[in-house]
Amino acid sequence: MRLCIFLLSLLLSSVAVAERLKDMVSVAGVRSNQLVGYGLVVGLDGTGDKTAFTSQTFRNMLNNFGVVIPPGSNPKSKNIAAVAIHAELPPFAKPGQSIDITVSALGDAKSLRGGSLLMSPLKGADGQVYAVAQGNLVVSGFGVQGDDGSRLSLNVPSVGRIPNGASVERVVPNAFNHGDSLVLNLNHPDFTTARRVSDEINQLLGPGMASALDATSIQVQAPRDPAQRVSFLSILENLTVTPAEEAARVVINSRTGTIIIGQNVRVSPVAITHGGLTVAITENFDVNQPNALGEGETVVTPRTGIEVDEGSGHMFEFTPGSSLQEIVEAVNMVGAAPGDLMAILEALKQSGALKADLVVI
C-alpha cells in the first residue's frame, strides 16, 4: 500500500473554511454537571450478587416499607444486585425533565439483564439531590456459563442503561444572567482565532464590544435582560469566523503504521540515505556413511549457511522549505513501506530538520 493513502486526509488544500461561532466556542458558566447515586436492581433471573452490602441495603429498604426481618437472618436473594448509577445533567435542565442514566453492578452480579432499578436519588458534587432514577434496564450484552466452567459472553452484561430513566428535581444555578458581559471560550485555544472572533463581533456590534482575553477566552458586552441576552447570543452563535490554521504537526500511530501529516509541515535542507541490511542464517545437516565393507558408523554433520544482503540504499535530497508531501512522494517512488517513513520522520526530528511537532501514539 502506498504511503500517500495514509496521508490523504490532511494533504488537502490549504484554504481555511469559515465555521459558525456556535461550533467553535462555549459560553463560560454554561456547562453540564455529573450526578452519581447508589441503588438496587431487582427482578434478575438468578444473576444477582451475594455481597454483604447488598444484603444490608435490601434489609434497610424493607425496613423503610415496614417489613421487619428477624434478627440473625441473612436474606441472600440471587435476584437482587447493588448498582452504581451515573448521569450527566445538561445545562438549563428544569424539574420534571428526563435524562438518561447508566447503571453498573458493584458486586459480583453476573448480569443485569431483565432487572428493574428501584427509586434511587442522584447527587451532585455538593451532596444535593438533583434527580431521582427508576426504571427497567436495557442491557446490550449477555453471558452464559456451563457447569464445567465454560463461559460465553458478548459485550458487558453487568452494565445497562435506562433512557429517560431519571427525573430532574432541582435546578443547577449558573452565571448566564449575571453581570454585564459574557465570556466565550474557544474549543481549540489559538491566539489568532481569538483575535478573529473578537474582530468579527466588533464588526457586527461596534468597536469595543468584544476583546480577546487570552488564547481561549473572548469577553463580550451583553444586555442584562435575560430575554435580550438569549436573542443576543442567538445572533452571535450564527456568525461565521475563519479559524487559524493548525500548528504544524505529524502524528504517528506506531501500532497500526498510520501517519498523519499537517499541511504546514516543512523540512529544512537535508539529504537522507535509507537502506537495509538482511542477515539470513540456515542450518543444514550432512549425513556421512562408511562404505559397505568398512566398520565405521554413520555420522550426521551440521552445516551452517550465512547470507548477507546489504540492500540498496536510496538518497533523498530536499531543498529549503520542502513539504512532507515531497518526502512521501520520494519514498513512494522507491516502494518503501510505512515503517520506512516512520523511521525517516523520527530521524528528521532528532536532527532538527523537521519543523513540526512529532507525536507518536
Every domain of the chain and the residues it spans: 33-168, 177-241, 249-360
What average pLDDT does range 144-165 have in this prediction? 72
**Could you tell me if 115 and 19 are in contact, meaning their C-beta atoms sit under 8 angstroms apart?**
no
174: left (phi over 0), alpha (psi -120 to 50) or beta: beta
As a whole number, mean pLDDT of residues 96-100 equals 95
Q: What's the pLDDT score for residue 256?
A: 67
Cα separation, 23 vs 184, in Å, equals 12
Measured distance CA(259)–CA(265) in Å, rounded: 13
C-alpha cell at 22: 456556535
Q: What pLDDT does 178 receive?
A: 85
pLDDT value at 18 more than 70: yes
Q: What is the pLDDT of residue 102?
A: 94
Rg (CA), the chain: 33
pLDDT, greater one: 20 or 317? 20
pLDDT at 299 > cutoff 60: yes
Least confident of 14-18, 166-170, 240-244: 14-18
Give me the mean pLDDT over the 84-112 stretch. 92
Please give the pLDDT value at position 243: 87
Average per-residue pLDDT in the chain? 77
User: Quick one: pLDDT at residue 125?
Assistant: 92
Residue 101 has pLDDT above 50, yes or no: yes
Contacts of 58 (CB under 8 A, 6+ apart): 40, 75, 77, 80
Report the run of H or E that residue 272 belongs to, with start and end: strand 270-274
